[in-house]
Structure formats: structure tokens, C-alpha cells
Amino acid sequence: MANILVTGGCGFIGRHVTEELLNNGYDVRILDALIDQVHGDTEAAVPEGAEVIRGDVRDKASVVQALEDIDGVIHLAAEVGVGQSMYEIARYVGGNDLGTAVLLDAMINRPIKRIVVASSMSVYGEGRYMTESGDQLGIVRRRAEMIKKGEWNPLSPDGLSLTPIATDEEKPVDLASIYALTKYAQEKQVLIFGEAYGVDAIALRLFNVFGAGQALSNPYTGVLANFASRLANNQPPMIFEDGEQRRDFVHVRDVARAFRLALEKPNAAGHVINVGSGQAYTIAEVATLLAEAMGVPEIGPDIMNKARSGDIRNCFADISKARELLGFEPRHRLETSLGPFAEWVRGTGAIDRGAEMKRQLEERGLVS
């Protein structure tokens, strides 16, 4: 494969994927709608050497144009944000699910060999847990009445404590937000299409992606970008619940490499694959590490002790399958990458819209 289409290629992850492909000898065309929430008023930074078509993935004419002479597709174009998806439902379902359907329609009868779609760890709901007796549980859910009382951790069916463990791809999905629903629909559409039409199809379930180039003024982007925007404006990072929830943070350069490998590795076809760091961090720990990296260690996080609808407690990646099928190994640990990230934030400038995001959620009863 020589000619690759990257939908959403001007976005945070898309720019790094495009750069990774260009650096490895691919020709890249980008299809991107350049929406304001992601790109603001600034001109999108596109790696030199990529062709750009400005268009919405839901517009078939734009998609058909973008697919001309293409050998493979990386599908990143999507609306992103658990919280916002809970009150802009039509926008998320339209952008993510209809957009994917239009793309697949346009791929029929074209000589496209492989498609790789960006899915999300959000499809798991809660990650895997182990009981005190050592049994692994598939689906674990928190009860609303417990959350309202500030009892954040899920319990076993008989009311006993559970230990969160790394989540593998065999864990049943449990969709806790509209965003998660749309990402699962995206990956299933692509895998079903691939099987029906003889196209190699792979879904990468991304965990919390971070790195230079995130949309710092978009309050619905990644956790680290939100925290950085607050700290850059001398405001404490806002943390829902008690800050002890655990997540997996994976550097965008590692993610970009995973997408390239998914294009190249024959055995990846037909699979869903986690892409994370394989490490677990508490959200409060991450806020503290970032404040230190940004030179404001005195600004501690604002622990809100309130829950946001659609959020889960713990989820971090088992990346054994990525190692086996892609030869993937993370190279950028969170602890050693926050310094360069903080330096980039200081030189970029960020508008803090965290309070606006909180108000929008509260007005709709999505914080309790």
C-alpha cells in the first residue's frame, strides 16, 4: 500500500499519524472538516507533503473525491467527548456512525486493501475487576444510589470489594455513554464491512492519548489537555469524584506508530486491539505530576466529590495483543513525557473553558 487516506488527519492524533506515515514512505491524503471546537480560529497544522481536502465525512461527494487512487484508509474522523455526547446526541451519532457509513458506502467496489478505524476504551464501560477469591468479572457496574452517596468503587454482586486489573479485548463491552455507543458502532461497521467485502479491517481501541498538539481550549478533549489548560491559567485542575479513579495514558507518537503497524501487519486483519501504555495512574496523581512539570506544584487539584454521567471508575489496558499482532511496544512513558508536554503548553497558550464545561453538564443534570 502506497497511498493512504487519513480521515480527520488535521486533528491531534491525525497529524501525528500523517507524520508517521510520511516518514515511512507513504503518500498521504487527508479529509478533514476542520471544525471550530477542535481547530478554533487557527489554521490547522498539516505535515508538509500531505494533500488536504476540506470536507465532512458525511458528505459523499467529498468522500468519493478523497478515495480516488487510495490503497488504504485510516479512519479517525469523529466527534470526541464523553460528557458532551450525553447532551449533543444527534451530533455524535451523525458524525461518528453516519460518517462511517458514508465512508464505507463509498469504498464499495474500490480496490482498497485495508481500513483501520479508531475505536475507544470507552466501549468497555468499567474495566476488568477481580474478586477477593481471584475470579475475574466481565461486566461490573456502579449503582446510581451508591454514586450519589459518594461510594465510588464498584462492588461484586454480593457486595464485596473488587480489585481493578488490566482490561483485555475479551472483556464484554458495556456502553456507559453515547460516545461509547457511537465508537462501538464505528468499529462494528468497519469489521462487518471488511468481512463482507474482503477488505482487511482492524479496530484500535485507544486509551487516554496525550502529547503536544492537543486542543487545549476544547474542554471535551483529553484529561491532560484539560488539566494543562487550567494550570496554564493558574487554576486548579477539576477532578470529578475523589481523584482515585485509574486510567491508562498513552503518548500520541506511540499511537501513531500503532496505526502504521496496523496497516502493515498481515495478522492484524479482523482484530480489535487495545492501544495503551499498559500502566495505570490515578487521576489525582496525574494532576500533581503535571503541576510539577509546569512549574506550579502549589496548585493542587480541585477534588469535586461529584460524579459525571457516563464516567466509569477504572479502566487500563492489557496490551498483550498489540505486542503479539502488531509488534507494538510503548516508547514514551507518562513520567518522562510530561516535561516536553508542559514546555509545549507554555509556548502555546490555552483558553480555560473547564468552568464552562462544568456549567453545561450541571445545567442538564449530568453531574451529581
Give yes or no for residue 326 having a pLDDT over 60: yes
Of the chain, the percentage scoring pLDDT greater than 90 comes to: 72
Closest CA to 328 of 247, 252, 255, 263: 255
Q: Are 162 and 154 in contact (CB under 8 A)?
A: yes
> At 42, is the pLDDT very low, low, confident or very high (cuts 50, 70, 90)?
very low
The conformational region for residue 345 under phi > 0 = left, psi -120 to 50 = alpha, else beta, is alpha
Q: What is the pLDDT of residues 184-198, one digit of tens each?
A: 999 999 999 999 999
Give yes or no for residue 299 having a pLDDT over 60: yes
Q: What is the pLDDT of residues 13-38, one digit of tens each?
A: 999 999 999 999 999 999 999 875 55
Domain regions of the chain by residue span = 3-363
Active site residues: 179
Q: What's the confidence (pLDDT) of residue 355? A: 64
- Between 5 and 39, the more confident residue is 5
Identity at 248, one-letter amino acid code: D
Average pLDDT for 337-355: 78
Q: What is the pLDDT of residues 210-223, one digit of tens each?
A: 998 887 766 656 78
Give 261-285 as a DSSP string. HHHH-GGGTT-EEEES-S--EEHHH
Average pLDDT for 283-302: 93
pTM (two decimals)? 0.92
CATH number of the 3-363 domain: 3.40.50.720
Closest CA to 253 of 18, 1, 4, 6: 18
Local structure of 120: helix, strand or coil: strand
Q: What is the pLDDT of residues 88-126, one digit of tens each?
A: 999 999 999 999 999 999 999 999 999 999 999 999 999
Q: What's the confidence (pLDDT) of residue 216? A: 73
State the Cα–Cα distance between residues 272 and 258, nearest whole angstrom: 13
Q: Residue 306: CB partners within 8 Å, gap ≥ 6?
A: 240, 241, 367, 368
Give yes or no for residue 153 having a pLDDT over 70: yes
